Amino acid sequence: MCGRYAITLPPEAMQKLFAYGERPNFPPRYNIAPTQPVPVVRLDGGVRQFILMRWGFIPGWVKDVKSFPLVINVRGESAREKPSFRAAFIRRRCLMPADGFYEWHRTGQGRQSENHAFLFRRPDRGLFAFAALWETWHSPDGSEIDTVALVNGPANGLMSAIHDRCPVILDPRDYDAWLDPAATPDEAATLLRPPSEDLLEMVRIGTAVNKVVNDGPQVQEPFDASAAPAASAAPAPAPARHARKATRNPENDGQGSLF
């Protein structure tokens, strides 16, 4: 986890919270999936910058993206030591704005098993920011791709009912410290804490989120038990084998466990 998330508030709201200069026209997105371009806030010359990056971290040493696993989450506990993420943790920390994310919970076994989708959001519907790491990948043909993955850690009490991992959601008072390239890895690591118990609420939703093509408000509609038999025909997303594919089993957390 997390394998899907949302940014539905207007660009003005993002600009106000994250205090970057430009006001890009980023449309509402209700079902952002891996490998898609996502908004990122980073420091550039000491100034906060809004930029789009590919959600799927690619270390600089990778030669063939098609043979590299899709890394959308990085374990906060080990990111400082892993060769794939160590340099980014030291010098390329960033923020991924969001106002909701999704997680799936499997119940039952065998043919009787079901995947239930849940939306996690702030009760006031406000924005928040995932801690994240970015890297610019240089392809053999000379082109460049800016890539990013969010950082996760142990789940809080609310999230633990669904999954044992949770995205790290930074306190706004910690944005400067997380972005500061002068902060040591140990100092940055102290910011990687589970969300407070009152930060998020959990809402069971329907199956529309299972399909990447669904990207409107219907994705976040609460689960309707009366419509469950018809809705159950919509399967959970199929697993993706390669980073180039945007559809991925949301239960596969894309953990950054490389080396």
Q: How confident is the model at residue 228 (pLDDT cuts 50, 70, 90)?
A: low
Cα 77 to Cα 42, 67, 168, 182: the distances in Å are: 22, 26, 11, 20
Residue 131 maps to a domain: yes
Nearest to 48 by CA among 180, 186, 169: 180
Percent of the chain with pLDDT over 90: 73
Residue 130 maps to a domain: yes
Q: In this predicted model, what pLDDT tens digit does every residue of 157-176 receive, in sequence order?
A: 999 999 999 999 999 999 99
Task: List the catalytic residues.
Answer: 2, 103
Question: Checking phi first, is residue 108 left (phi over 0); if not, alpha (psi -120 to 50) or beta?
Answer: left
Residue 17 maps to a domain: yes
Question: In this structure, what CATH number is given to the domain that contains residue 130?
Answer: 3.90.1680.10
Residue 169 maps to a domain: yes
Kindly provide the b/e burial profile for residues 20-31, where b requires at least 16 CB atoms within 10 angstroms of the residue's own CB. beeeeebeebbb
Q: Helix, strand, or coil here: 34?
A: coil
For tokens 């790491």, the residue is 133
236 Cβ neighbours under 8 A, 6+ residues apart: 104, 115, 210, 249, 250, 251
Residue 236 maps to a domain: no
What pLDDT, on a 0 to 100 scale, did the predictor assign at position 142?
Answer: 82
Mean pLDDT of 92-100: 98
Question: Which of the residue ranges 22-31, 118-127, 241-250 has the most confident prediction, judged by mean pLDDT?
Answer: 118-127
Residue 258 maps to a domain: no
107 Cβ neighbours under 8 A, 6+ residues apart: 113, 114, 116
Residue 240 maps to a domain: no
- Of 110 and 250, which is predicted with more confidence? 110
What pLDDT, on a 0 to 100 scale, did the predictor assign at position 37?
Answer: 96
Mean pLDDT of 104-125: 87
Q: In this predicted model, what pLDDT tens digit does every residue of 35-67 receive, in sequence order?
A: 999 999 999 999 999 999 999 999 988 988 888
The Cα–Cα gap between 136 and 110 comes to 42
The total of structural domains in the chain comes to: 1
The Cα–Cα gap between 259 and 252 comes to 19
Mean pLDDT of 233-239: 45
Give this prediction's pTM: 0.86
Mean pLDDT of 212-231: 84
Q: Does pLDDT of 253 surpass 70?
A: no
* Residue 151, domain extent: 4-105+121-201
Residue 241 maps to a domain: no
